[in-house]
Amino acid sequence: MIQNQQGQMHQNMHTGAVPQQLNHGGHEMFDVHEVLNGSIGTLNQYLMLRPHVKDPELLDILDRQYQFIQDEYNITLQCFQSGQDPSKPTQSYKMKQGNDFVYGLTPTQPKKPMQNMTEISDEFISGCMLAACKSGASHKTTAACETTNPVVRRVLADSVPNCIEMAYELSIYQNKNHYYQVPQLAQQDMTQIVNSFAPAQGMPQTQNMNMNMNANMNMGMNNNMNFKH
């Protein structure tokens, strides 16, 4: 019976009638496996860091992001295992932070590795969270580009902006608390770079040349046909 099932599966794959739950390519299997493992790692990291959070605002961000990442993990897992639409669509993460950054550098103490667990700070915790969100955005983007199953691809693609939004929320929090400083170029240099591009206009000349060549070839063919007559 097992041989018959394997033979039927092999025949289905050659005829294109792949079972819905196996509608995945090889690259997709490995990349989504990495995405799911990454989500578990992020959730575990948030869980371990939570008891060390001191700032209520950071704790609120951590809890909201944990719940959202857990929900997205379940949605991704469900459609990956079934090959079909999940029980509910991917949601959009909404941060509470504003979007104002403080620019410039101020003197700070040099950073160095911690010597004991008592040195765990909100700066360290928010930095770990930020790194996890950035990693998730990268892994999901790569996986979406390699995914053949249309449902899984859509879920992964919809999840990428959420990772970016969570990372943005954390970077704003860090910036506001002077953990993450944002340097700027001199105004003259910024102006030069911003104005170093111009809008694209019109059709490419190569395309016009191709159109002219095709027209000339058609005319030549018509002339040859007339000559034969």
Is 207 among the domain residues?
no
Is 51 among the domain residues?
yes
Helix (H) or strand (E) holding 35: helix 26-49
Is 203 among the domain residues?
no
More confident position, 8 or 122: 122
Q: What's the pLDDT score for residue 87?
A: 86
Q: Where are the alpha helices (DSSP H) in 51-182?
A: 56-82, 122-146, 150-176
CATH number for the domain harbouring residue 31? 1.20.1260.10
Is 86 among the domain residues?
yes
Instruction: Specify the number of domains making up the chain.
Output: 1
Is 69 among the domain residues?
yes
| CA gap 102, 210 in Å, rounded | 52
Could you tell me what percent of the chain has a pLDDT over 90?
Answer: 54
pLDDT digits (tens, 9 = 90+) for 210-223: 666 666 666 666 66
- Reported pTM: 0.78
Q: What's the pLDDT score for residue 7?
A: 47
* 71 band by pLDDT with thresholds 50, 70 and 90: very high
| CA gap 76, 36 in Å, rounded | 8
Is 4 among the domain residues?
no
Q: What's the pLDDT score for residue 219?
A: 66
pLDDT digits (tens, 9 = 90+) for 143-175: 999 888 889 999 999 999 999 999 999 999 999
CA 104 to chain centre: 29
Q: 88-100: b or e for each residue (b if 16 or more CB lie within 10 Å)? A: eebeebebebeee
50-56 mean pLDDT: 97
Is 17 among the domain residues?
no
Q: What are the tokens at 32? A: 């989504």
User: By residue range, what is the domain housing residue 144?
Assistant: 23-108+119-193
Q: What's the pLDDT score for residue 224?
A: 58
pLDDT digits (tens, 9 = 90+) for 13-40: 444 566 665 667 777 888 999 999 999 9
* 107 band by pLDDT with thresholds 50, 70 and 90: confident
